[in-house]
Amino acid sequence: MRKRVSLTRSAATGTLVLALCLFATISLAQVPKPAANVGQGNSASGRDWWKNAVIYEVYPRSFQDTNGDGIGDLNGIISRLDYLQSLGVDAIWLTPIYPSPNYDFGYDVSDYLNVNPEYGTLADFDRLMSEANKRHIRVIMDMVMNHTSSEHPWFIASRTSRDNPYRNWYVWRDGKGVTATDKGRPPNNWGGFGRSAWEWDEKTRQYFYHRYSVQQPDLNWNNPAVKQAFKNILGFWLKRGVAGYRFDAIGDLFEDPSFQDEALAKDKDGKPIVDARGNPVLERTKRFDLPASHAVMGEIHAYVHGFDNAAFPGSRLLIGETLTRSVDELAKWYGTPTQPEFDLPMNTQVGFINKLDVSTFRKRLLDAESAIGNHVPLLVFDNHDRPRLDRYGDGVHDVAIQRALATVLFASGGATLMYYGDEIGMKTTPPTRREDVKDRMGGVANWPAIRGRDGERTPMQWDSSSNAGFTTGSPWLPVPPSASEINVKTEEHDPDSLLAWYRSLIKLKKSNPALALGSSVMLDTSNNNVLSWSRQTPGAQTVVVSVNFTSAPQTVNLRDEVGPRAGSVRTLLKSPGGSDPASLDRIELGPFGVFIGEIP
């Protein structure tokens, strides 16, 4: 049985066409050390540069320290741009670098128009922009519009009195049963993790709403002044040359003006759902994905895409942290032809299956393409909020498993987002003692049920020295012991390393027409051990990909499905030690082995 997904990409960029003309067959053995210009497949003015882009998430605090305070900084990112260029990334997304009291490490912004002094200055930022631009790497900023820090001057003013001009910038409501001496109860049952999302403010005797921590009060997006303020903020950084934004927690922007209670969430048998700590889980129909959020994103899309900056030409990119429960909900975030919203809302449906289950991957990959019409998917497997890719590991074949996952990520078409350290196989290393937790927002409050997000935010492992080349000081989070073996320097000298695999895969993604622009056809769909698909585009050779999802050797025959031309196949990339099949009749795969080939 053969399932086709039709993906009509708009025309390739001029530079991609150039890259394709230069296209040469690559096999792992033949992959040369990446040339210095890898990643230049997209010129600075390429309109559609992001449609086949590799976007690399940098967690600035943990990437590279240069002044010895143990905290990564902008100068550190600048010093590693050559590395990023050699990896072949098109853009870096910086998680928030704005001044912040760091209750949520930058997701609690206290000034949107500056750089956190821990990370550097605006002058450093401008230098980062120009150095990245020289290397054809675009910079995407994080934009936190749902909430500010409780220390932002807007909120400080807002809570001074009920008639302060900033009062209406946040979501203030009367409580229930409040008297002169009693704070009563919150306005409704909204909350999570067994706590209310409303905080009593004694001075003005009202409650304010905070979807996240008390230190992150929600802005009131029904107030037009809030929208205007964010347009100014977006323009401030666009003027400095940023290529776009990743919008944080976008589904949370608006609250239902009725402020009615949420119903209890129920499972398919009608039983109330409880969280890990036994607290009831609520529906989120009154405070998530409301139509008004879509309208605002439509307006922001037009504003950002219409922003003229001749010094940094090329189309802008809006990425959405959409966190939808289904791909159909995700599809809505692309907007309509007359009112586009996000260019790339994040698809987490595939990457966060969290189990190597072939049929689920096959279905979700199909859905990822077919449910979004002609739009481009953005697959996301990993980020600073969830355990790293080692969550898929079995403790024995972890590197091979990460090779397999990277193949699904980069050889499925569309845009891809990767997280710093994935390319070397960094391990999630959470703190073991409560007193060591730095992630107050995600950790301490819920300890030990949840150990926070420190484990996936540890310093980048550059070499095998004591602090992994991250800092000469004392790192803000400990460097995992695994850094002695898992690090860039060691892996750079090993042609069979995970880093070498990422480089080869990214290079292939950027240069092979079928991978870059084609559509996917799932193959061998009754096979529950091996995920196979082809990539096809008119005028280019078909590419087949097979990924063994098991620890046992597997053999697949794709010949009947791919058709009469499939008599022979040429290896483009294969796992270390893998064989080169002469035809599609017999592709042999070792444990979690991968084969990518081209039909001549």
Kindly state the helix (H) or strand (E) to which residue 17 belongs, with its residue range.
helix 14-21
DSSP states of 53-102? -EEEEE-GGGT--SSSSSS--HHHHHHTHHHHHHHT-SEEEEPP-S----
Tell me the residue number closest to ligand NOJ, measured at CB: 107
Q: How many CA atoms lie within 13 A of 221 on its CB side?
A: 25
Could you list the residues that contact ligand NOJ (CB under 6 A)?
104, 107, 144, 212, 248-249, 321, 384-385, 441
Tell me the residue number closest to Ca ion, measured at CB: 73
Q: Which is nearer to ligand NOJ, 167 or 211 (CB)?
A: 211
How far apart are the C-alpha atoms of 196 and 190, rounded to whole Å? 6
67 contacts Ca ion (rule: CB under 5 A): yes
**Shortest Å distance, C-beta 441 to ligand NOJ:** 6
436 contacts Ca ion (rule: CB under 5 A): no
Say which entry of ligand NOJ, Ca ion, none residue 104 contacts (CB below 5 to 8 A, set by partner kind). Answer: ligand NOJ
Q: Which is nearer to Ca ion, 67 or 550 (CB)?
A: 67
First-residue to last-residue Cα distance in the chain: 23
CB 544 within 8 A of CB 556: no
CB 556 within 8 A of CB 587: yes
Residue choice 71, 78, 418, 589 for contact with Ca ion (CB under 5 A): 71
Q: Which residues inside 95-114 make contact with Ca ion, applying CB under 5 A?
A: none
**Shortest Å distance, C-beta 522 to ligand NOJ:** 31
65 contacts Ca ion (rule: CB under 5 A): yes
How far apart are the C-alpha atoms of 583 and 81, rounded to whole Å? 41
124 contacts Ca ion (rule: CB under 5 A): no
Can you tell me whether residue 282 is helix, strand or coil?
strand
Query: What is the CA 383 to chain-centroid distance, rounded?
Result: 6
Say which entry of Ca ion, ligand NOJ, none residue 65 contacts (CB below 5 to 8 A, set by partner kind). Answer: Ca ion
309 contacts Ca ion (rule: CB under 5 A): no
How far apart are the C-alpha atoms of 19 and 26, rounded to whole Å? 14
Q: Which is nearer to Ca ion, 67 or 557 (CB)?
A: 67
**Shortest Å distance, C-beta 330 to Ca ion:** 37
How far apart are the C-alpha atoms of 403 and 390, rounded to whole Å? 11
CB 314 within 8 A of CB 47: yes
Say which entry of Ca ion, ligand NOJ, none residue 144 contacts (CB below 5 to 8 A, set by partner kind). Answer: ligand NOJ
Residue choice 14, 69, 229, 259 for contact with Ca ion (CB under 5 A): 69
Among residues 460, 475, 454, the alpha carbon closest in space to that of 71 is found at 475
Alpha helices in 315-413 (DSSP H): 327-332, 358-370, 398-410
How far apart are the C-alpha atoms of 548 and 183, rounded to whole Å? 60
Say which entry of ligand NOJ, Ca ion, none residue 71 contacts (CB below 5 to 8 A, set by partner kind). Answer: Ca ion
**Distance (Å) of CA 4 to CA 31, 320, 515:** 31, 27, 15
**Shortest Å distance, C-beta 169 to ligand NOJ:** 18
- What is the total count of residues that contact Ca ion (CB under 5 A)? 5
Sheet of 198-201, strands arranged across: 172-173, 206-209, 198-201
CB 530 within 8 A of CB 552: no
How far apart are the C-alpha atoms of 233 and 221, rounded to whole Å? 15
79 contacts Ca ion (rule: CB under 5 A): no
CB 39 within 8 A of CB 5: no
**Shortest Å distance, C-beta 124 to Ca ion:** 11
Say which entry of ligand NOJ, Ca ion, none residue 69 contacts (CB below 5 to 8 A, set by partner kind). Answer: Ca ion
Among residues 162, 234, 253, the alpha carbon closest in space to that of 201 is found at 162
Q: Which is nearer to ligand NOJ, 248 or 341 (CB)?
A: 248
**Shortest Å distance, C-beta 122 to Ca ion:** 16
Q: Which is nearer to Ca ion, 443 or 475 (CB)?
A: 475
**Shortest Å distance, C-beta 303 to ligand NOJ:** 22
78 contacts Ca ion (rule: CB under 5 A): no
**Shortest Å distance, C-beta 96 to ligand NOJ:** 9
Q: Which is nearer to ligand NOJ, 217 or 413 (CB)?
A: 217
Say which entry of Ca ion, ligand NOJ, none residue 318 contacts (CB below 5 to 8 A, set by partner kind). Answer: none
Q: Which is nearer to ligand NOJ, 215 or 504 (CB)?
A: 215
CB 556 within 8 A of CB 386: no
Say which entry of Ca ion, ligand NOJ, none residue 441 contacts (CB below 5 to 8 A, set by partner kind). Answer: ligand NOJ
**Shortest Å distance, C-beta 104 to ligand NOJ:** 5
Catalytic positions, written as ranges: 248, 321
Say which entry of Ca ion, ligand NOJ, none residue 125 contacts (CB below 5 to 8 A, set by partner kind). Answer: none
Listed ranges 16-24, 35-43, 66-74, 276-284: which one lies at the site for Ca ion (CB under 5 A): 66-74
Burial of 589 (0-12, 13-18, 19+ CB in 10 A): buried
Say which entry of ligand NOJ, Ca ion, none residue 107 contacts (CB below 5 to 8 A, set by partner kind). Answer: ligand NOJ
Q: Which is nearer to ligand NOJ, 49 or 476 (CB)?
A: 476
Residue choice 57, 73, 454, 598 for contact with Ca ion (CB under 5 A): 73
Backbone angles phi, psi at 252, to 5 degrees: -90, 0
Q: Which is nearer to Ca ion, 365 or 460 (CB)?
A: 460
Q: How many CA atoms lie within 13 A of 146 on its CB side?
A: 26
> Which residues lie below 8 Å from residue 266, measured CB to CB, with a gap of 6+?
272, 273
How far apart are the C-alpha atoms of 158 and 166, rounded to whole Å? 5
Residues found near Ca ion in the complex (CB under 5 A): 65, 67, 69, 71, 73
